[in-house]
Amino acid sequence: RGERDNLHYLKGFYFGNGYAGLQNLIKKGEEEIDPRVVCGIEVGKDSEGKVVEVRIGRYGPFLTDGENRASLPDDVPPDELTADKALEIIETAKLGPQSLGDHPELGLPVYLKNGRFGPYLQLGDMEEGEEKPKMASLLPGMEPQDVTFEVAVELLNLPKIVGKFPENNEDIEVANGRYGPYVKCGSDTRTIPMDDMSPLTITLDQAIELLKQPKRRGRTSQPKALKELGKHPATERLLTIKSGRFGPYVTDGEVNASLPKGHDPEEVTMDDAVNLLEARLAKLAAQGKTPGAKKTGKAKSKAKTSSKEKAKTKAKAKAKTKAKSKAKAKTKTKSKAKSKKE
């Protein structure tokens, strides 16, 4: 109501005045806070009942299971992280770099390692002052246990030339990039569909056939449908199991829910799918998110309109000022001429 002095009131609120002020309350709270508790998010428990959690460290997020720890790869979406996935990452990290053998042509050791972006291959050792050794990512969907010595050598041999394109006689290159394997001829590229072929075994004819196909613009093809379960008993939306970037998932067209690791899509029942979607909806609700909600362009158009109005007002004011200045100058000239006559 404006009856007290602002500064005096704020000083009392912060430093205290016969009662604990905000400053003292914060200090007391800081002493009672356990950083190990506030910097950790539980994702589940291991077979021994120990808590598996994500923690925030100086160099980014990492996983802990008792004394065991491992960096959380950047390509693992936090909302898709389960206790099983976390334990798998920790187990892989525990193994450390695995020596798979020596490269048959170069004689350098081939290692399977686990890094910030997941498992990868390294050719040779990291020597101080020497050039960085060659590294290669695993193919999409490939697990460390799938990597044999022969597969590792093939991956490290990428990019490779498989032949020439008949129309321009340019080299056709096969490579494994950030977004997966592809073929390239000059500046022209095509994605290698992993369900049909592999960059390790692709033939010249297959590469030519891919390059002859029209280039897709924008998004790549839609996720492949693996199984249709029928209509949801409550919403009557069609439930489908699809193959996604991070594995199979069930969807009703609006909400997506990943299948548990190792779960065969063919064995998923309607009840399983409904339960998975309900769990996903509950998780989204807890995060304050609404499935299928899209941002509207109202704010944008409003901002556009107001900026247009501002510009108009500015222009009007400018014109008015100009007109006034002209009128003043005219009056001045007239009065000067009059005084001269007199």
* Bridge partners for 3 per DSSP: none
Residue tagged 């490779």 (tokens): 160
pLDDT of res. 297:
46
Secondary structure element (H or E) that encloses residue 256, with its range: strand 256-258
Q: Cα separation of 211 and 220, whole Å?
A: 16
* Bridge partners for 70 per DSSP: 63
Q: Is 268 left (phi over 0), alpha (psi -120 to 50) or beta?
A: beta
Q: How confident is the model at residue 302 (pLDDT cuts 50, 70, 90)?
A: very low
pLDDT of res. 329:
55
Q: How far is CA 228 from CA 50, 200, 272, 334, in A?
A: 38, 32, 13, 90
pLDDT of res. 309:
57
Q: Cα separation of 291 and 280, whole Å?
A: 10
Strand 51-57 versus strand 109-115 pairing type: unpaired
- Among 128, 132, 188, 134, smallest CA distance to 159 is for 134
Span of 15-24, 106-115, 280-289 with lowest mean pLDDT: 280-289
Q: Cα separation of 123 and 132, whole Å?
A: 10
214-243 pLDDT, tens per residue? 876 554 556 678 889 999 998 889 999 988
Question: Following DSSP, what letter does each residue of 16-63 receive, concatenated?
Answer: -SSS--HHHHHHHHHHH--HHHHTEEEEEE-TTS-EEEEEEETTEEEE
The number of residues making up the chain comes to: 342
Q: Cα separation of 185 and 205, whole Å?
A: 14
Q: Is 100 left (phi over 0), alpha (psi -120 to 50) or beta?
A: alpha
Tokens of 288: 């304050």
58-99 pLDDT, tens per residue? 777 888 888 888 888 777 776 778 888 888 888 877 777 888
Span of 12-16, 87-91, 228-232, 244-248 with lowest mean pLDDT: 244-248
For residue 298, pLDDT over 60 is answered with no
* Contacts made by residues 289-293, CB under 8 angstroms, sequence distance 24+: 291/254, 291/255, 292/254, 292/255
Q: What is the DSSP letter of 228?
A: E
Q: Cα separation of 155 and 44, whole Å?
A: 35
Exposed e or buried b per residue across 30-42, where buried means at least 16 C-beta atoms within 10 angstroms of its C-beta:
eeeeeeeeeeeee
Average pLDDT over residues 284-311: 57
In whole angstroms, what separates CA 101 from the centre of its chain?
34
More confident residue, 182 or 145: 182
User: Model pTM greater than 0.75?
Assistant: no
Q: Which amino acid is at 198?
A: S
pLDDT of res. 313:
59
160-207 pLDDT, tens per residue? 999 999 999 999 999 998 888 999 999 999 999 887 789 999 999 999
Q: How many helices (H) and strands (E) does the chain have?
A: 8, 16
For residue 1, pLDDT over 80 is answered with no
Span of 116-130, 273-287, 311-325 with lowest mean pLDDT: 311-325
